[in-house]
Structure 1
Amino acid sequence: MKPVSARPTLTSSADEADADDASPYATINDLHRSDIANVTRRLLILFALVAGLVVACGLTYSLAWQSGIDHLRRNAAVRVDRTTSALKSTLERYESLPYLLAEHPIVQDALVDPTPANVQRANLYLDDLNRHARATVTYIIPLDGFCVAASNWRGPGSFIGAGYLFRPYFVDAVKGGVGRFFGIGTISQAPGYYISQPVRREGKIVGVAVVKLDLEWFQGVDASEPLVVTDDHGVIFLSSVPAWKYHTIRPLSGPVADSIYQARQYAQQPIAPLPVSIERTLEGNAQIVRIGGGRYAPRYLASRRGMGEPDWHLITMSPVDPVDADARKATIVTAFGYVSLVLLAFYWRMRRARVREVMRSRALLQKAYAELNRRVAERTADLSQANEQLQKEVAERTRAEQELRAAHDELIQASKLAALGQMAAGITHELNQPLAALRGFSDNTRVLLERGDQASARENLEAIAALTERMGKITNQLKLFVGRARPRNARAPIVRALRNVVALLQKRLQGVEVDITLLVADSGTRTLLNLADDHPELVAHCDDLRLEQVLINLLGNALDATADLHPPRISIEIEVADANLSFVVSDNGPGIADDVLPRLFEPFFTTKEMGQGLGLGLAISSSIARDCGGSLVARNAPDGGALFVLTLRRARVQTSHTTDPLTTGS
């Protein structure tokens, strides 16, 4: 029995030895499989968490954006309905006014028998009616198309005598219908809405009665968000954004553009399409549009309503950026909440894992630390790379912005140089005064020849020859605007130059009170200057023709400023200092406006009416002063009127006197 019982004992010992030898390898394999399983599980959890974050953020953004758009759409619908009703009620309030005007006997008498008495009665009646109805202008037109009576008959921009055969509202009324038309006035150049009715006498149409309304106030009724009104062709004629006016929301066909041009509906305004792109169409006749080019162009929720009669459309533009911002904020809050919950769950799990980590071996702990360091290094490298990339992008953006600014400056300069093609017309501006003087000398010479005064006639002919030569030199001075001429050591006696200028402007100076004084700065003495005396000691560093050109411009501007005054006064004061000579030209005109003063010496800037000047006179004068080492400034005089100061370097003349006769009183 003992051998039998001993065999199991030996076998058991051998199995235990084999198990002890295999246990280290089994433990390593198990640990390896466990690590792989843990990593896989963590990756799956991380993927699930990231996917959950993306889904939560996307769902939040979609719901918040849709909710904001719905709220914005409802508010926009209420606003466009309210604004449409306000505009339509305004138009309907004046709809019957032309009909009542057409039925009045005074209007019918003026159209049937346009005698001065009937026309005067019609003017008074239209003036009174227009004032009580608070319309812009009311007027009547016979069948020949030329206005005979108007409410603005007293004003300088009266419609009387103007032709309207090409206007659609006149054509519609002559055909027996009601004319409705929006356009820019051919006389006043002011936009307005025209309503016309045919005027009948004994069942026969004898003319047209028209009422013009000013609707410019409407585009400022609700300026919180952009508002536009388009006509039946899609042209924007009312807009709270001035840059959008006279643009189209869709391209115009050739016949439509020709009809707008022939009717002079928008005068000379260029009609260009507004850069509108539709991104999305919503219910309730609303669209999400982007106005402008590029990905950063502003987006709007456009709500459209039709006016019915007239066939206008009112469109309100509600910015979508606040909705996008609110959706982004909601998404950020959701992301932070989600991340906070994940971090809290992760913290709770880490607390549990930390208890288990205590029982792990030191090798696994070191391995975990190494893995963590590796990941931190990778993340740090990624962040460093991203930071470098961001810095490169910032540098590229800065360089691009500088290049864009430089290109913009070059474009402005190129535009100015392109405008130089128009400078040929500036010759007229510069030669008006010499031509007027030539006319005066010619008329005087003819009288002298008739009287037989040959000597005086010869002097006039010599003056005409000198003026002709001076006109040729003046045309060469226009090159001063293209580039700076090199200053020359020319000298000009200022009294002789002033005497030539006064002779040149003699006809325009008739009836103008001109005071010419001489002020010595050192002694403070002021005396009247006799232009017959030469004063050879008063010489400036400047070409004599250039000096006369500047003085002609200054005196010409002073004459223009005092043209409507009674009596006109111009003061010319020559201030003499040791190193400088100054011309102070002042007038009793209205002065210079504050917004005009900074731009006074800019080329092509003028405050005169169209066709009366190119804005080159002061620009050329300032260039001449700088080339001669002097300056030309403008300001308003303390007692009213404009004041120009031309300062030039004084040239010393070698004479027998050792001192300046002006300063010594000789």
Structure 2
Amino acid sequence: MEADRVTRRLFILFALAAGLVAVCALTWTLAWKSGIDTLRHAAAVRGDRTTAALRSTLERYESLPFIVGEHPLVQDVLVDPKPEWIDAANRYLEDVNRHARATTTYIIQADGMCIAASNWRDKDSFVGVSYRFRPYFIDAVKGGVGRFFGIGTISHDPGYYVSQPVRRGGKIVGVAVVKLNLEWFPGADSGEPLLVTDDHGVIFLSSVPAWKYHTMRPLPADVVASIDRTRQYARQIIAPLPAHVERVLQDDADIVRIGGGIGGGIGAPRYIETRRALGVPDWNLVTMSPVRPVVVATRSATIVTGFAWVSLCLLVFYWRQRRQRVKEVMQSRAMLQKAYAMLNERVAERTADLSQANEQLQREVQERARAEAELRAAQDELIQASKLAALGQMAAGITHELNQPLAALRSFSDNTRVFLERGQYAAAHENLEAIGSLTERMGKIVNQLKLFVGRARPRSLRSPVASALRQALALLAKRLAGVSVSLTLTDRTAGTVGKANTVGEPLVVPFDPHGAYPGLVAQCDDLRLEQVLINLIGNALDAAADAASPRIAIDIEAQAATIAIRVRDNGPGIPEDVMPRLFEPFFTTKEMGQGLGLGLAISSSIARDCGGSLVAHNEPDGGACFVLTLRRAQVSAARVAATDV
């Protein structure tokens, strides 16, 4: 029983393999025949189109030599070659050749000497050259039409020559010749090789340059001697192509192999060679259609058919297996439904857990948002508290500034009353002007204090650096007494300080807070920038307080997109253990009552809010350096001009 089963399976496998071979062989035969027929039809259509184009070109110039020979000037110069007539004939032929768009037009005397040509101006002119050996001259002198393709003996350019006899009084007095350049012809359709052979079988036009001046078949010795005698192809070596006819088809078509050594090797490419006669002249048009696409298509069709046969066999096998497994599927369906019910229960439990987790997450998000809002509010309160603390430190300086104008104001008012009683009105007028100036100064001092205290001032986000630095220095004027302060401006872009600088080299100049720098504007609220500068300069004053000669340096560096303000002092510097916590809120190294530890934290927050940064480091020569970097605001040309005015 087991042996019968094995035998039956082997028989089935053998039958399937035999069927696969038969189907593939039939597919290969049909696909090959269809591909060859399609290729031959395409070659025939292409040959007809190309032949018609070539014939049209040749026929268009067929009568041009006859028309040239009928002109009286041409006949006169061939009979009596006077110099003035030769010059006129050259110009006439030049004009005819230009209008006809031929390569060269020339006339030859009966003895074979060219006396006038359209290229008479060129160095390689045909004038004065003997052509009695050329077949087209011989045919025309005998009274016929000469047609000849060859390489020029003077220009060494290949061309097609058409000649007609020139008659005068019934006698042939010379020959008119037109040369055409047909090198353009094979390039019109270079997708597949295209050849044109002469009456000897020599290839003189080819879309494959390496095949030119070869023959499709070996030439007899007398034909080779005739080609050499007429110098038809100049010094070209005429040799047969390495071609081998593999199969002869109908209607002047063969399957040939070209290349791979003499006679065409086994691995050489195959072509369908189709020949078509042009008639007059006695040329043949040969189209070479590669067979490889047909082979590829046939192979693909055979492979697809083989896969289809195998797929069909597998489908039948699958159908049989499916029938055997249908019962197993019916039995397992009940088990699957039970497992599906259990899965639904687990999904429901997991969904409930996810819902609870989602609700808890939403509560945490709400708490986080509320905490952030409270943090922002606390930060605003801390900023205001810092400003009030700084206000207390500045109160003494502002009081000192107000006491001096008040004392002067009292003195000027007393003097003015005395001057008025004495009738000295000029002196009184001067005192009144001084009183007005002092009043304006006191108003500015009080206004600075009012602006600093204000909480809800609108933010312009455009702060002139010079103005902010000037206000900060004014508020800290009392503490700056006795301290050496240097201010410099480094301009890395032309135009910031109104002076030209070499591209790539910075321009360093002293900085004047009272000067006009219309292009030096930072993207920051002016009041907040003043607050940062007050904190940085105040910290620098505290650090340099114990130095023998306290010094503060303020450097401003203008880049194309940023403005960096460096505040340096000659104090002891920042300890290494303090550096990591320098910008933490409520962290301070000052004694109790001298600071809250909020100045640098608030300044760093302001810098970040404005899109900038605040960093600190110790200088190599001693002292600390704080660098405030802000984005540079773009100022229009009109605004700069208005500021300059």
Give the structure-2-normalised TM-score: 0.49
Give the structure-1-normalised TM-score: 0.47
Structure with higher Rg: it is 2
